[in-house]
Structure 1
Amino acid sequence: MQSYTGKCLCGVVRYRIDAPIDQLTHCHCSMCRKAHGAAFASYASVPLEAFHFMSGKDQLGVYHSSAHVTRTFCIRCGSNLQFVDNREHELGVAVGTLDSPLPAPPQTHIFVDSKADWYEIRDELPQYNGDSPR
């Protein structure tokens, strides 16, 4: 079985993913930009049942950014960790927190209609004005 590990910047929150990572999204919405302090946020979509905290779950902060979405972060170092939509059976893991090597799965840019005006997308990845079709 494919398995990945990751952690926050300070290392107190550690997790394991027991599933292949077969999709990445680069979200350009204003909430993701603000949460990550960057032009976009990159998330790996993984099934809920495949994500496991190994340590530091008690150091996890949560922010309900909308009616259906919770974002998690380490309360010690502030690392963004997850994007959880309670209408889905998967969650988004902030790819930058992975420690395991990740072969390049298919990727898309989403919510490009609200991307930062100072950032230009220069790759050939698919782009969607809203969420990517599933």
Structure 2
Amino acid sequence: MSTINKTINHFMEYQGSCLCKGVTFKVIGNFKSFYLCHCSYCQKDTGSAHAANLFSTSAKLEWTKRETEITTFQLAGSRHQKSFCATCGSALPNLQMGDKLLVVPAGSLDTGLEKRPDAHLFMSSKADWDEALEEIKKFEGFPE
């Protein structure tokens, strides 16, 4: 698995996949923003403290392998949308706002990402346990 992004005519190329590798994709272009969203919807759909999503209005998404189905869920009455592999459940990119906005889950990328998050969003909704996490023990793998 490559950990280096390719530069193509001043645009970056990123490779990505789901956990079971039934779906692979590439994104050609640059990301405008990178947000860590702590809203209650993102907590529910990630099962974690926040979602980590990259956004672009100019990058192009190309599916390079689709051996499994891609399912998209739109939460009624909201702008919250998530695409995922129907086999393994991994979050996958999707187009929103009339296909004008590409949203890419940062964890779905297989290539390195130099861009750092721009901001934490919806901190008023953050999980109660999402506090001073940098202070807790750290392990390189499972604890012994």
Contact persistence 1:61–1:75 (CA under 8 A): yes
CA distance in 2, matches of 1:83, 1:121: 32
Q: Percent identity?
A: 29
CA distance in 1, matches of 2:120, 2:98: 21
Q: Return the offset for 1:3.
A: 0.5
Q: Return the offset for 1:121.
A: 5.9
**Looking at CA atoms only, which structure, 1 or 2, has the larger radius of gyration?**
2
- Determine whether 1:64 maps to 2:74: yes
Aligned residue number for residue 102 of structure 2: 91
Count residues with an aligned counterpart: 123
Q: TM-score of the superposition, structure 1-length normalised? A: 0.79
Superposed CA offset, 1:3-30 (max 9, x none): 0010000011111110023421000011
Equivalent residue in structure 2 for 1:115, among 123, 126, 139? 126
Aligned residue number for residue 40 of structure 2: 30
Structure 1 pair 10–64 and aligned structure 2 pair: CA distance change class (3 A): same
Q: What code does the residue aligned with 1:103 have?
A: E
- Determine whether 1:3 maps to 2:32: no
Contact persistence 1:70–1:84 (CA under 8 A): no
Q: TM-score of the superposition, structure 2-length normalised? A: 0.74
Root-mean-square deviation (CA, aligned residues, Å) is 2.3
CA distance in 1, matches of 2:113, 2:104: 13
**What runs of 5+ residues in structure 1 fail to find an aligned partner?**
124-134
Aligned residue number for residue 74 of structure 1: 85
